[in-house]
C-alpha cells in the first residue's frame, strides 16, 4: 500500500512537471500594423487589442516602442530610444503607451496581466514633434511576456513576444530618391563561389519596400542563377541597406558573366519600380585552373631544362677551344 502511494505521488509529480515544461505562451495582437499621416505637431490616438492565446496566465506583459535599424545583411534590429538621442530621429520616443492599469509599471516599462483566453485593449498616443521634417518614420511596438524576480526586476527569459509596425508619415513635401549605389565582386572568380556586396541608399524621405534579387547571367544574357536575398525588405527613408556574402553556382563554366542586383518596390504613389545594377567578371572552373597551373609549371620546367641544355652545349664548345 505504501509503495502504491509513493508511485501515485511520483506519477502526479511527473504529470505536473510535464505540463509546466510544455506549457505554451502565445500572444496575438490586432492589428499587426498601423499607417498614419498627420502634420508636424499633431497628436494621433488609437489602440491595440492584445489576447492571451496560450494555456497559462501571464502576469507581466511589458509594452515598449523601438526604433528600427538594419544591419549589413539586411536584418532588422530593434533599439530602445536613448535619453540622449535626438527626438527628431527617434520616432519610438513619440509613442506613449496607456495600459488599462497605469500603476502597473516596472523600470519605466508599463505592463498588463492576462488570464488564459483574456483580451485587453491597450491605448496609445503618438505626439509628432513640432519641428519634425516631412517624410516617413517607423517604429515597432512590442508586447513581451517576461518573468519578474522577487526584487522587482525584469527577468531575461522571454516567454512570448508580438509586435506591431507603426508607420508615421509627417505631411509635407515628398522626396523620392533611391540609388543602387554599389554592387561589387571579384573580377576573376576561380571555382563556383561568387562573393558579392551591394548597397542601396534612400536619400529621400519616404520608405520603399520589396524584394532584393541577385542574378548570374552568361554572355548571351541567359539567367544561370537567381536568389532572393530578401523577399521583403524595408529601405527606410534617410537610410541605407547592405547585403554581403557569396553564392554557389554549380553549372558555371569558363567565360565572362554578369552579376546583376535588383530591388523591386512600389513608390509612394503605388507604381511598381525597380533599381538595377550590373558588374561583369571572368570565371574559371577549378579543374581548368589546375590544368592551366600544371601546363604553366610544365612549360616553365621545359624552358628551364632547355636553357640548361643550351648552356651546357655552349660550355662544351668553349672547352674544345
Question: According to the model, what pLDDT value does residue 31 have?
Answer: 93
Question: According to the model, what pLDDT value does residue 297 have?
Answer: 74
From CA 36, how far away is CA 317, in angstroms rounded? 97
Question: According to the model, what pLDDT value does residue 290 have?
Answer: 57
The x, y and z cell numbers of residue 257, run together, are 558573366
From CA 236, how far away is CA 208, in angstroms rounded? 6
Question: According to the model, what pLDDT value does residue 99 have?
Answer: 92
From CA 50, how far away is CA 143, in angstroms rounded? 8
Helices (H), 64-142: none
Question: According to the model, what pLDDT value does residue 307 have?
Answer: 78
Question: According to the model, what pLDDT value does residue 102 have?
Answer: 85
Question: According to the model, what pLDDT value does residue 10 have?
Answer: 43
Question: According to the model, what pLDDT value does residue 294 have?
Answer: 66
Q: Which residue ranges in the chain fall short of pLDDT 70? A: 1-23, 149-158, 286-295, 314-321
Percentages (nearest 5) of helix, strand, coil residues in the chain: 20, 50, 30
Question: According to the model, what pLDDT value does residue 81 have?
Answer: 92
Look at the alpha carbons of 25, 28, 32, 36 in this order and tell me if their dihedral is positive or negative.
negative
Contact partners, residue 16, CB within 8 Å, separation at least 6: none
* Pairing mode, strands 119-127 and 95-98: antiparallel
Question: According to the model, what pLDDT value does residue 78 have?
Answer: 94
From CA 257, how far away is CA 241, in angstroms rounded? 25
Question: According to the model, what pLDDT value does residue 286 have?
Answer: 61
* 24 and 55 Cβ atoms separated by less than 8 Å: yes
* 210 and 233 Cβ atoms separated by less than 8 Å: yes
Q: pLDDT tens digits, residue range 54-74? A: 888 999 999 999 999 887 777
Question: According to the model, what pLDDT value does residue 235 have?
Answer: 93
From CA 282, how far away is CA 257, in angstroms rounded? 6
* 59 and 113 Cβ atoms separated by less than 8 Å: yes
Asked whether the whole model's pTM tops 0.95, one would answer no
Question: According to the model, what pLDDT value does residue 74 have?
Answer: 74
Q: Which domains does the chain have, with CATH numbers?
A: 24-170 (2.60.40.10), 178-286 (2.60.40.2550)
Question: According to the model, what pLDDT value does residue 137 have?
Answer: 96
**Could you check whether the bond before residue 31 is cis, i.e. omega within 30 degrees of 0?**
yes
Amino acid at each position: 500500500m505504501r509503495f502504491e502511494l509513493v508511485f501515485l505521488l511520483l506519477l502526479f509529480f511527473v504529470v505536473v512537471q510535464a505540463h509546466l515544461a510544455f506549457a505554451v505562451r502565445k500572444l496575438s495582437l490586432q492589428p499587426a500594423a498601423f499607417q498614419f499621416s498627420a502634420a508636424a505637431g499633431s497628436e494621433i490616438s488609437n489602440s491595440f487589442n492584445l489576447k492571451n492565446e496560450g494555456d497559462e496566465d501571464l502576469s507581466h506583459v511589458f509594452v515598449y516602442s523601438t526604433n528600427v535599424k538594419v544591419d549589413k545583411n539586411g536584418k532588422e534590429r530593434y533599439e530602445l530610444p536613448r535619453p540622449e538621442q535626438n527626438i527628431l530621429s527617434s520616432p519610438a520616443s513619440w509613442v506613449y503607451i496607456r495600459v488599462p492599469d497605469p500603476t502597473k509599471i516596472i523600470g519605466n516599462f508599463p505592463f498588463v496581466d492576462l488570464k488564459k483566453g483574456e483580451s485587453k485593449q491597450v491605448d496609445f498616443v503618438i505626439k509628432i514633434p513640432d519641428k519634425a521634417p516631412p517624410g516617413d518614420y517607423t517604429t515597432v511596438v512590442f508586447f513581451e511576456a517576461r518573468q519578474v524576480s522577487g526584487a522587482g526586476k525584469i527577468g531575461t527569459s522571454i516567454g512570448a513576444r508580438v509586435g506591431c509596425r507603426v508607420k508615421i508619415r509627417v505631411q509635407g513635401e515628398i522626396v523620392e530618391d533611391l540609388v543602387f549605389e554599389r554592387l561589387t565582386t571579384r573580377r576573376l572568380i576561380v571555382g563556383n563561389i561568387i562573393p558579392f556586396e551591394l548597397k542601396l541608399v534612400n536619400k529621400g524621405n519616404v520608405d520603399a519596400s520589396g524584394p532584393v534579387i541577385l542574378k548570374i547571367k552568361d554572355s548571351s544574357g541567359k539567367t544561370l542563377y537567381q536568389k532572393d536575398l530578401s523577399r521583403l525588405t524595408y529601405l527606410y527613408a534617410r537610410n541605407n541597406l547592405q547585403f554581403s556574402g557569396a553564392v554557389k553556382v554549380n553549372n558555371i563554366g569558363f567565360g565572362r558573366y554578369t552579376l546583376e542586383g535588383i530591388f523591386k518596390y512600389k513608390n509612394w504613389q503605388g507604381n511598381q519600380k525597380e533599381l538595377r545594377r550590373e558588374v561583369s567578371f571572368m570565371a574559371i572552373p577549378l579543374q581548368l585552373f589546375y590544368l592551366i597551373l600544371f601546363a604553366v609549371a610544365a612549360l616553365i620546367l621545359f624552358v628551364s631544362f632547355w636553357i640548361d641544355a643550351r648552356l651546357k652545349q655552349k660550355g662544351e664548345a668553349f672547352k674544345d677551344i
